[in-house]
Each structure stands twice: as C-alpha cells, then as structure tokens.
Amino acid sequence: MVRSKEVYNYILEKARVIDPKNGIDEVRDIGIENGVIAEPEKISNAKIINLEGLVIAPGFIDMHVHLREPGGKDKETIKTGTMAAAAGGFTTIVSMPNTNPLADNPSVIEYIKSHCELSAYVNVLPSGCISKGSEGIEMSPIGGLKKAGIVAITDDGKCVQNHELMKHVLMYSKTFGLPVLDHCQDPYLAEGGLVSEGYWSSIKGLRGIPVAAETIMVSRDIILAEAAGWKVHIQHVSAGDSVDMIREAQKKKIRVSAEVTPHHIALTDECIKDYDTNFKMNPPLRTEEDRQKLIKGLQDGTISVIATDHAPHTTTDKLVEFAYAPFGVIGLETAVCVCLTELYHKDLLSLTELVSKFTVGPASVLGLDIGSIEIGKKADLTIFNPDEKYTIDSGKFYSKSRNTSFNGKEVKGRVIGTIISGRFVFSQIDGIKGTF
C-alpha cells in the first residue's frame, strides 16, 4: 500500500466516537501511537487535532468494489479506485474477481496484491471466483486462492446456475472459512432485461428483469446454505421479497447474510424514465415498495451490510442507447453522504446503526477482526461531519469514471478524513495533509 513515510502520533480530541461493536457512542479522545490505537494519556509527543462536531468511526469497509485492474484500466485502476475509496471514507475494500484475466487462480491474486502494494491507498482484500472462468461448471482452486490471500469467493456479475455445484462450493469453502458471495439471478428470467420488470419497463418499452429472477436464486442459496451449514451472502439485494425470505431464514439460524447498495436504498425504477444510462445497473432499481422493504431490512438487522457495487464505466461506454450501455454505477465517493442523507437524516437509522453497516456488519460476514476501535489494534478510522451540506459533483471525483446516479444531488453529511494505520490518507482537516 502507498504510505507516507512519516508516522505521527495523534490525539484526536473532542469528536463523537461511534464504535458499534463495542457499544460506544460518546465524546472522547482517541490516541494513535505508531499506527495503532493507544491510550491518549500515555502518548508522548502527539499532534493534537481538535475534531469537535465531527464523528470518528472505525474505518469503513466496502465489501463490493470493482477496481477493474487488471484488464479495465480505461475505467478504473487500483490507484484511482483506492483514491476514490479513501475520499469516500473507506479504509478497506473487497475487490471483485471479474477482472480480465479473471481472478480464478492464485497468480492473478498475486498480481493484484503486488499491484496494490505499489499503488493502493487503502487496504484491498481480493475475492476470487467460485468457478473456473466464472462459467459455473467447475470449482475454481478455492484452497489455492485462499492461500494466495482471498477473503471470499464470488462469481459476481454471474450466478452459478448448477445447483449441485453451488451446494458443493458451500460445503467445500467452509473448510477454508471463506464466505460465498452470490449475485442472485436466474439467467432465463433475466435474459435481455434492462430494467426492473413492472410499470416503468412497460411504459418505456424496455425489457424487464422480474423480481423472480432474484428471489428464485435467493431461495436456492438459502436452501443450500442450510444443507451445507455454511455462510452464503446475498449481494446487492434489490427486491423486497428477497429481504422477507432472508429474514425468515435467519430466524431458522441459517447462515445467510445480505448487503444493499446506496442506490437501491435511495432510488427507484422511476429514475429510468428518461433513459439515462447512469440509472442502468444490475440488479436494477426496483419499486418504492421494494425500497421500503430494503430499509426495513436494514432497520431490523436482516441486512447487515451496505456495499457500493462500485462499477466504473467510461463516459463513452455509457453515452450510448440505453439497451447497449453496460450495467453499473460507481459509488465509493457517494455512499457515505447518500446514506447519511437518506437513512440518518430521515430518521430511519441511528448513526450507530448506520456505522455498523459499514464496519462490524461487513467484518462479521467476512469473518475478519476489523471494524472496531480498540487499544492495540491498527488505527483505521473514518472521520465525517454528519451535518455538512454539499452538492455532489462528479467532476471532482478521484475515480477515473463518472457514471454516478447522484451527480448534482444535494446531500447532508461529508467524509472529512480517512486514517489507515495511523496515517491520514485523505484529509479535509485544516493543517493535515492526506497522502494524495
């Protein structure tokens, strides 16, 4: 990882510290010594930074990011993608394996790791493919991928259709403690689909992707996770019915978890009425009723993770007929402010609940001991102002791409600083410089 050479000791004063894992929500000082959290009183020669009015949280985790490298440098690179992550308040991201070449073998993981060592600004945890070539036929070398350093397996963008293979994958990955992340979609029902099947697809003459394309596979995964006794994680849930199914499964102690994206929380399929390709993503935006059920899932804990599905595409790729544009929108630099605006300021989630979806939530799915603020642990911290208002301007993004659904949106809540291993990687604080 790219790091500034100098390491300072800091005392971060007077901020509201929110650490959901440890049940902390109070104004207190935080000490950082040699890159780790320390007792403020015991640190010598520390820089004191007054953060009154701001919130300090454990470093945010985004477990669904397409960095596009290798193979898609015109859209994003490890460098620009991780700069965007840092600017968005994320200290750790999980990269998706649908690069070119695919991350379905240890050598690609080695490549990604060595590139991250040179040019990443945040912690990048790679994921690997479930199946060779993401073809859904043969298992990828899951043990070898684990040794190479992956934290999860997924065929994201595709969905394993062979139920027996999926069952075996769930049984096998348990040995390695690797969660299985699934983009739940039946290809026959979704064939040729561009937007959610419903009112707007009918009115606008766009082919629809029915809710059933998702729920059929969610139910399949729940059934197989129960049989295998292992963790399945449903990526970017879009349908309200999926939330209901996941909730019922969790009641039965089946190990199923779920994530939702900021765009599925904030937007509905009405957004496609002008054929703007920055609202074309997979799974598609659904109805207001679905949106409400997703929020309910966040409130009652059925959905424990907010993840961006940051999917960069060039302006040229997106500036075409709706049917021909690629699916996907970027999200790293807008996730936190959009969620503060749509969930916290609308009294739908408390700050602690919201922070948990970016910290202990994903850490727990991934089985990693991160996402909290504890003495002796790496000082990965996210600092934000929950009340600062600004207008999102995609022209100022660090990401190489501009395909956001939120350009021009007025938001309330802004990331002010991102600290990784005690170093300010991103900073809007007077007198404190970031790494880039």
Give residues 337-396 in contact with another protein (rule: CB under 8 A). none
Q: Is 309 a catalytic residue?
A: yes
Identity (one letter) of the amino acid at 67? Answer: L
* The binder of another protein chosen from 73, 323, 374, 390 (CB under 8 A): 323
Give residues 277-316 in contact with another protein (rule: CB under 8 A). 316
328 touching another protein, by CB under 8 A? no
What tokens appear for 73 in the block?
Answer: 């440098």
Give residues 23-52 in contact with another protein (rule: CB under 8 A). none
* Smallest separation, CB 310 to another protein (Å): 25
- What residues contact residue 9 under an 8 Å CB cut-off, 6+ apart? 31, 32, 33, 34, 38, 43, 44, 45, 46, 47, 422
Nearer to another protein, 201 or 235 (CB): 201
137 touching another protein, by CB under 8 A? no
How do 10-19 and 232-234 pair as beta strands?
Answer: unpaired
* The binder of another protein chosen from 22, 199, 374, 410 (CB under 8 A): 199
Torsional sign, CA 124, 64, 361, 55: positive
Nearer to another protein, 168 or 204 (CB): 204
What tokens appear for 199 in the block?
Answer: 């009112």
Strands of 34-156 (E only): list them. 36-38, 47-50, 55-58, 60-65, 90-95, 123-126, 153-154
Nearer to another protein, 23 or 205 (CB): 205
Of 166-174, 322-330, 335-343, 379-387, which part binds another protein (CB under 8 A)?
Answer: 322-330
Helices marked H in 332-391 — which ranges? Answer: 335-339, 351-358, 360-366
Torsional sign, CA 356, 359, 363, 369: negative
Q: Is 430 exposed, middle or buried (0-12, 13-18, 19+ CB in 10 A)?
A: exposed
Nearer to another protein, 270 or 410 (CB): 270
**What are the CA-CA distances from residue 208 to residues 212, 272, 304, 400 (Å)?**
11, 12, 28, 30
What tokens appear for 240 in the block?
Answer: 């309200």
205 touching another protein, by CB under 8 A? yes
**What are the CA-CA distances from residue 297 to residues 8, 10, 270, 374 (Å)?**
41, 38, 22, 29
Nearer to another protein, 260 or 329 (CB): 329
203 touching another protein, by CB under 8 A? yes
Total residues contacting another protein (rule CB under 8 A)?
A: 18
* The binder of another protein chosen from 174, 204, 345, 402 (CB under 8 A): 204
Q: What count of other Cβ atoms lies within 10 Å of the Cβ of residue 49? A: 23
* The binder of another protein chosen from 206, 211, 285, 366 (CB under 8 A): 206
Residue with tokens 């419903």: 198
* Smallest separation, CB 15 to another protein (Å): 45
Q: What is the CA radius of gyration of the chain?
A: 21
Distance CA 301, CA 305 (A): 9
Of 39-47, 203-211, 338-346, 413-421, which part binds another protein (CB under 8 A)?
Answer: 203-211
Q: Is 390 helix (H, G, I), strand (E, B) or coil?
A: strand
6 touching another protein, by CB under 8 A? no
211 touching another protein, by CB under 8 A? no
408 touching another protein, by CB under 8 A? no
* Smallest separation, CB 330 to another protein (Å): 21
Give residues 144-173 in contact with another protein (rule: CB under 8 A). none
322 touching another protein, by CB under 8 A? yes
User: CA nearest 233: which of 105, 100, 224, 241?
Assistant: 224
* Smallest separation, CB 204 to another protein (Å): 6
* The binder of another protein chosen from 320, 346, 369, 390 (CB under 8 A): 320
* The binder of another protein chosen from 8, 111, 172, 275 (CB under 8 A): 275
Nearer to another protein, 321 or 347 (CB): 321
Dihedral (Cα; 12, 13, 18, 21), 10-degree rounding: 60
Of 61-69, 237-245, 317-325, 326-334, which part binds another protein (CB under 8 A)?
Answer: 317-325
Spacing of C-alpha 149 from chain mean position: 19
Nearer to another protein, 111 or 275 (CB): 275
Catalytic member of 309, 380, 387, 430: 309
**Which residues bind to another protein, rule: CB under 8 A?**
198-199, 201-207, 274-275, 316, 319-324
The residues that are catalytic are 309
